[in-house]
Structure 1
Amino acid sequence: MGLFSFLKKKNEAPEARAGARPRPELANPASVFAPTTRMPLDTESERERQREIARATAAKIDEIELEMANDIFDDHAWAGNRRAPAVAAGAPSAPLLDLNTADLLVEEGMPDAAIAPSSAPAVEEAAILYANGQFEAAEAALRACLVGACRNERQPWWMLFDLYQAGGREPEFESIAIDYASHFETSPPAYSPAFAPSAGRAAQAAGQPFAGVTPTATLSGQLDATAGAQLARVLASSMPLVRLEFSTIASATPAGCAVLLQALQTLRRAGRELVVAGADQLIAVLRPMLAIGDRGAGEAPWLLLLELLLLMNREKDFEETAMDYCVTFEVSPPSFEAPARAAVSVGASSPNTVTGDRFLLPGIIEGAGTALLDAISVYAGQHASLVLDCSRLARIDYTAANALGARLRQLADKQGEGDGAEKRSIELRDLNHLVAALLRLLGVGEHARLYAHKY
C-alpha cells in the first residue's frame, strides 16, 4: 500500500457528501485481470495527452513515496527488514517465498515441493473423515483446530479451503479466506470450484468422467508462430481431455497469439475438456501488450485474453476486458457465453516440471479401483517416469488410497529390480490438501513424490 493511500480515503468522503456521482471503481474495485486505465473516446491526441498526464503523475507519486520511505527507514535498526531491490529489466524472475513457505520446501530445486506434514492431530483426523465421506465432521475438526492448536499452521487452512471448493461452498470459502489473509498478512486465495464430490458420483454413474493419458502441449519462452508445432499433436489427438502448459511463457508475439487463439477455439468448439497450467502466467504476459486506444499489437492478443477468460468462466473479467477491446477497436463488444466445459485451471508449474503426457485421475476414486490401477500399470509400462495428474481428484476413500499406494509401491520396485538399479520416479501432481494428507498418512510418500497444489 502506498504512503498516500490514506489521503485518498479522506478526500473521498467530502465528495460523497457533496452529492457527486459515485465512482464505480471505488464501489467495485477493478479485477487484477482488467487494464488499469480507462480514457474518454475523444480524439487520438486527447487520449495520448491523458496518458502522458497519468504516467507523469504516477511517476511523481512513486518518486515522492520512495524518498519518504528512505527517510523513514534509513536507519540501521531497520536494515534487516528492507525489501530486496527490484529485478532488473529482462532478468529472470524467481518466485517470492516468505519464511513460512520456504520452510515447507522439502528439497531444493524440486518443483512445487510437497508440503511438510502438520504436527496437529486434527489434520490426520480430518483427512480420514473426509475420505470416508463424513464432510461435516471433517469440517468441524478443522475449524476447531484453527481456533486452537494449529491456527498458525497453514496446512489446516488449505485443507478447509479444498473442502469448501470440492463442495461448491463459495460463501464459506470467502469467509475464511478473509481470516486467512488477515492472520498471515498475505493475499487471500481465490475461489475456484473443484470437482465436487456430489457431482462426481452422478457423473461416474453416467460414465462421463475421463481418466487416462492426457496429451500435453508445453509452450515456453516466447509464444510465436512456431507454437503451432507443439499444438498440432494435441489438436490431432482423439482424447476427450488435453493439457496445456503456459507456466514458462515469458513473452508473446501477435502471430503466436493468433496461433494459440485458433487452437483454443478449435478445442472449445469440439467440446474438448482442458486442463490449463499457468493460465495466470500467460495472462500476465498479455496484459502489458494491451493499452486502451492502442491498436499497435493488433486484435490477436486481445482476443486470446478474452478466450482464456471465457474458457475459465471468468465472466466479470471477460466483460470488463471486452468493453476495453470495444473502445480500442470501435467495434461491438463480444458477448460472454459460458463454455460447455470450463477449463480446469491449475497453478503455474516450476521450470523443472516434468514435461510430456500425464495420467489424469478421475474426480472420485472409491473401492478397489482395479480397472483404474491396471490402466495406470499400462501407462507405467510405456514411460520411464510415472506422473499422475490429480488436478480433478476431489476425494479418494480409505480403501482406494491403500490400493493405490500398494500398486505404486509395486511399480516403483519393479523399475528398480537388479543390482544398483534406482527405483522408478513416481509423482502425484496438483493434489488437493485433504487427499495429500491422507496419502502421507498411509505412507504413499515413501515411494512417490506428493505435490499439493499451492494457495
Structure 2
Amino acid sequence: MGLFSFLKKKNDAPEARAGARPRSMALHPGELPDTASAFAPTTRMSLDTEAERERQREIARATAAKIDEIELEMTSDIFDDHAWAGNRRAPAVAAGASSAPLLDLNTADLLVQEISPSTAVAPSSAPAVEEAAILYANGQLEAAEAVLRECLDGACRSERQPWWMLFDLYQASGREPAFESIAIDYASHFETSPPAYSPILAPLAAQRGQQAFAGVTPTATLSGQLDAGAAAQLSHVLASNLPLVRLDFSTVAAATPAGCAVLLEALQTLRRAGRELVVAGADHLLAVLRPMLAIGDRTPGEAPWLLLLELLLLMNREKDFEETAMDYCVTFEVSPPSFEAPARAAVSLGASRGPGKGGPAAAGDHFLLPGLVEGASAALLDAITAYAGERAALVLDCSRLARIDYAAANALATRLRQLADHPGSDGKDGNDDNGGNNGKRRIELRDLNHLVAALLRLLGAGDVARLYAHKY
C-alpha cells in the first residue's frame, strides 16, 4: 500500500478490532492473504456477475482489515514513547476515525495531497464534472448521478473529483447504501481506504420549508497544545447566546489532562444547553487523544478518557462510544457510562487547509451559509455584505451548504466580486503569505462539498475567492 496508505487510517476498523493480536504477535506483510486480484485494474464491465462483484468487495474488505492490524502495530511502534508491557493495549480505534501520525502540518500536507487535496479550485479534465454540477444545482439529482456514473465507468474513472462529487450527492440525499457501494469500488481502484458515510445535515428533501439558520457563528480555534489556557479561547463561544457555535480542533498537536478537562467541561455545558455545534477536525483530535490512553494505565487520569467519550457521543458514534466506554470501565474499575443520543449531533468536518501552507482555517467568527439556497437570495447576500462590513477578510462557512441552485450561485459569485473589489478600510488589503491580490479583500469559502465547489468554480467565483472543499 505504500507511504500514503500508512498516513491515512482505514475507516472500516471493526474487522481489525475483532481479529487484533497481542503486540508480541504482530502481523507482518508476508502474512497478508493473496489479495492481488483486489487491486488488479478492473472495470464494472469486466465483472460478469453480481456475485463476482461482491467477491471483489469482500476481498477489498478483508485486505483493508488485515492492513489495519499491521498499521495499528506500526503506528504504536513509532509514536508510543514507552514500551508496552503485559496486556497493556491502546483503546479500540473508532470506525471512521483517523489515526494518522501527528506530522508537522506542512509535511503532512505535502504527503497527503496526492490522496485528498483540500482545495476545490483544481480543474478536472472531465466535462462530466461541470455537467453534473449544473444538473445538481438545478435539482436534477438523478440526472447528475447518471452523468457521474457513466463517466466513472469510462473516461474519468481515474480522476478522484467525480468520485467525490458522487459521494457528496449520496450524502446530501441520504442514500447510505449507494454511498457504501461505490466506496468499496473507490477503495479498490485507488488502493486506499474507503471514505465513511457521515451526512452533515438532513437530506435535501427535509430542508425545504424549514427556517434554516444563517449568519455569524461564534468560533473558537484551538491550536498547538491543548492545556488549561484553552479556557480563555472557549469563553467566547460559551458567552454567546446564538444557537450555533463552531469549534476547530484541526491544528491541536498535543493535549494535557488539564486541557482535556477544560474542553470536556465546555462541551458538556454546550450540549446541556441544547446548543448546536459545528466541529472541524474532530477526528484529528481523536487521533491526538488515543495515543495518550491505554487500557489499565491510569496515569493520564480520567479527563482524556471522558473527553474522548464526549466527542464520540456528540458525533453520534454509538458503537465506538460503547467500545471505548468498556475500555474506560476496565481501566478505572467503574461502571461504563451509557450512550445517550444527543439532541443535536455535532456536524463533524475534516480540516480544509490552504494551498501549500497546511494552515488552519481562518481564525475568528465565520458567516454560516444555510443548507439549501434556492431562488431569490437577496436577503442572504445583503446579510453577507453587512457581515463583511469593514473586514479585510471574509470567511464563509459552507459546512452545511448541501446545494445552491444555479441562479443563486451566480448571484453569490457576482456579490463576491463586488466585495473583493471593495476591501475594508482598516489599512489592510487582504494580501498575505498564502497569496492574495493587492487592493482586494481576501475571501474564503470553507468546507464546500465538491458539487457546489465545481459549480462556483465554473461561475468564476474561484477568481476572487479561495474555494476549499472538505476532504475524503
Tell me the TM-score normalised to structure 2 length: 0.75
- Tell me which amino acid in the other structure corresponds to 2:158: N
List 4+ stretches of structure 1 deviating above 6 A.
28-32, 89-93, 416-420
**Percent sequence identity over aligned pairs:** 73
Shift of 1:97: 4.7
How far, CA to CA, are the matches of 2:440 and 2:254 in structure 1? 38
- Tell me which amino acid in the other structure corresponds to 1:197: L
Shift in alpha-carbon separation, 1:416–1:297, aligned structure 2, 3 A: closer
Q: What is the aligned counterpart of 1:441 among 436, 441, 458?
A: 458
- What pairs up with 1:82-161 in 2 under 5 angstroms? 94-95=107-108, 97=110, 101=114, 112-161=118-167
How far, CA to CA, are the matches of 1:278 and 1:167 in structure 2? 24
Shift of 1:246: 0.7
Contact 1:162 1:432 in 2 (8 A): yes
Residue 180 (structure 2) pairs with residue 180 (structure 1) = no
Shift of 1:4: 3.1
Contact 1:254 1:297 in 2 (8 A): yes
Tell me the TM-score normalised to structure 1 length: 0.78
Contact 1:416 1:422 in 2 (8 A): no
Number of paired residues? 386
Shift in alpha-carbon separation, 1:243–1:90, aligned structure 2, 3 A: closer
Residue 367 (structure 2) pairs with residue 359 (structure 1) = yes
Shift in alpha-carbon separation, 1:448–1:115, aligned structure 2, 3 A: closer
Unaligned runs of 5+ in 1: 11-25, 38-46, 56-85, 106-111
How far, CA to CA, are the matches of 2:172 and 2:369 in structure 1? 15
- What pairs up with 1:193-272 in 2 under 5 angstroms? 193-195=199-201, 196-201=203-208, 205-207=209-211, 209-272=212-275
Larger displacement relative to structure 2 (210-219 or 413-422): 413-422
**Alignment partner, residue 279 of structure 2:** 276
- Tell me which amino acid in the other structure corresponds to 2:421: D
How far, CA to CA, are the matches of 2:135 and 2:86 in structure 1? 62
Unaligned runs of 5+ in 2: 2-25, 35-61, 74-83, 91-99, 354-358, 430-436
- Tell me which amino acid in the other structure corresponds to 1:171: P
SS of equivalent to 2:86: helix
Shift of 1:98: 5.9
SS of equivalent to 2:416: helix
Contact 1:247 1:282 in 2 (8 A): yes
- What pairs up with 1:363-382 in 2 under 5 angstroms? 363-382=371-390
Larger displacement relative to structure 2 (408-417 or 429-438): 408-417
How far, CA to CA, are the matches of 1:243 and 1:363 in structure 2? 16
CA RMSD of aligned residues (A): 3.2
Shift in alpha-carbon separation, 1:131–1:375, aligned structure 2, 3 A: same
Shift of 1:442: 1.1
Deviations 1:219-245 (A, max 9, x none): 111111111000011100011111111
Contact 1:368 1:403 in 2 (8 A): no
Contact 1:168 1:194 in 2 (8 A): no
Larger displacement relative to structure 2 (442-451 or 224-233): 442-451
Shift of 1:353: 3.0
Larger Rg: 1
